[in-house]
Amino acid sequence: MCGRYHQHKPREALELMFEIGQILDELADFTPRWNIAPTQRAPVVRALPDGTRTLSLLRWGLVPRWTRAPDTKTALKDAGRLINARAETAPDKPSFREAVVRRRCLVPATGFYEWRRAGQTVKQPFNITPVEGVFFAFGGLWERWQPPPTPDGPGGALETFSILTCAANADMAGLHDRMPVIIPQAAFNAWLDPGLADLAALAHLVEPAAPGSLALAPAHPSVNSVRNEGPELLRP
C-alpha cells in the first residue's frame, strides 16, 4: 500500500517535468512536503479533453461521485478508507470502476515511505526513491463530488484522488507486499487520455516496477507522526 509519501519539488519544477499547460487553481498553499498524509491536499496532474495537462491540488482519499452525504465534512470522513485502489480489482469496484475508465491521473512524488517492524512496538520507516531520475509519477484515480445545495446556494465541488497499488517488486518485498503503481514518462499521454477506455491497452502500466529500480534507505522515526514535516525526516 501507500499511506505516506513526499513531494518536495517546487511547483515550477513540476510544471517542467510534467509539461503542464494549465494551472487549474491558484495553488496558494502549494509548498514542498516531506510527509503527505491521507485527507491532505497534494498536487495531481490531469488532462483536458484536448490533451492539455493540468496541475491542481486535490485531497488524498477518494470520495466517489455518487456518495450520499449532507456536506463536505461528512463526505470526507470515509475518504481515509479509499486512499489506495488495488489495480487488479479497481475496475470491478463501485468506488473506482468509473474513474478507472474516465478519470485517471498522475500523482507526482519524490518518494514514499514504508515501515518494517523492529521489536514488539517500534516500526522503522524507510524512504523509497527512484534509482534513476528525481521523481515518481504514481498512477492515480480522481473524482469530483458535488455536495447537496444549501439555503445559501450550491457548495463548492470536492475533488479527491486515490493512488493505485500493485504487487511489490523484489526491491519492496522485504517491507510490504504492495507498492504504488509507477507510470513511466513515455506512457503519460496514454495514461491521462480520457478517451482511452480500453483497459487492456493499459494493463502493462500497472505491473510492478522493474527490480533494481527502487532505492530503500532508513528514514527518521519522526515521520511516524503526521504532525512532523521537513527534510530532516529523510535522514536516518
Residue range 84-99: mean pLDDT, rounded: 93
Whole-angstrom Cα distance, residue 218 to residue 207? 25
Cα distances from 109 to residues 6, 127, 137, 149, 225, in angstroms, run 6, 12, 6, 35, 19
Catalytic annotation on 166?
Answer: no
- What are the φ and ψ backbone dihedral angles of 140, each rounded to 5 degrees? -135, 170
Residue 59: CB partners within 8 Å, gap ≥ 6?
39, 40, 41, 76, 79, 158, 159, 160, 161
Q: Does the structure show a pLDDT above 60 at 109?
A: yes
Residue 134, pLDDT score? 84
Least trusted range by pLDDT, from 22-26, 54-58, 137-141, 167-171 = 22-26
- Beta bridge partners of residue 162, listed in sequence order: 141
- 17 confidence band (pLDDT: 50, 70, 90): very high
Catalytic annotation on 105?
Answer: no
List the catalytic residue out of 2, 105, 143, 159: 2
Residue 62: CB partners within 8 Å, gap ≥ 6?
79, 82, 83, 85, 95, 96, 99, 141, 142, 143, 160, 161, 162
Report which residue type is found at 12. E
Q: Does the structure show a pLDDT above 90 at 34?
A: yes
Residue 194, pLDDT score? 85
Residue range 2-18: mean pLDDT, rounded: 92
The Cβ of residue 7 has, within 10 Å, a number of other Cβ atoms equal to 21
Report how far Cα 192 is from the mean position of its chain's Cα atoms.
14
pLDDT (tens digit, 9 = 90+) per residue, 157-190? 889 999 999 999 999 998 999 999 999 999 999 9
Of 188, 210, 195, 207, whose CA–CA distance to 106 is shortest?
188
The Cβ of residue 65 has, within 10 Å, a number of other Cβ atoms equal to 13
Q: Does the structure show a pLDDT above 70 at 15?
A: yes
Mean pLDDT, the chain, integer? 89
Whole-angstrom Cα distance, residue 199 to residue 192? 12
Q: Does the structure show a pLDDT above 60 at 211?
A: yes
List the catalytic residue out of 114, 143, 159, 166: 114
Residue 100: CB partners within 8 Å, gap ≥ 6?
90, 91, 141, 199
Cα distances from 19 to residues 23, 185, 191, 192, in angstroms, run 11, 11, 15, 13
Of 24, 223, 10, whose CA–CA distance to 127 is shortest?
223
Residue range 36-59: mean pLDDT, rounded: 94
| pTM recorded for the entire structure | 0.92
CATH level 3 topology of 5-116+133-211: hypothetical protein yedk fold (3.90.1680)
- 152 confidence band (pLDDT: 50, 70, 90): low
Residue 154, pLDDT score? 56
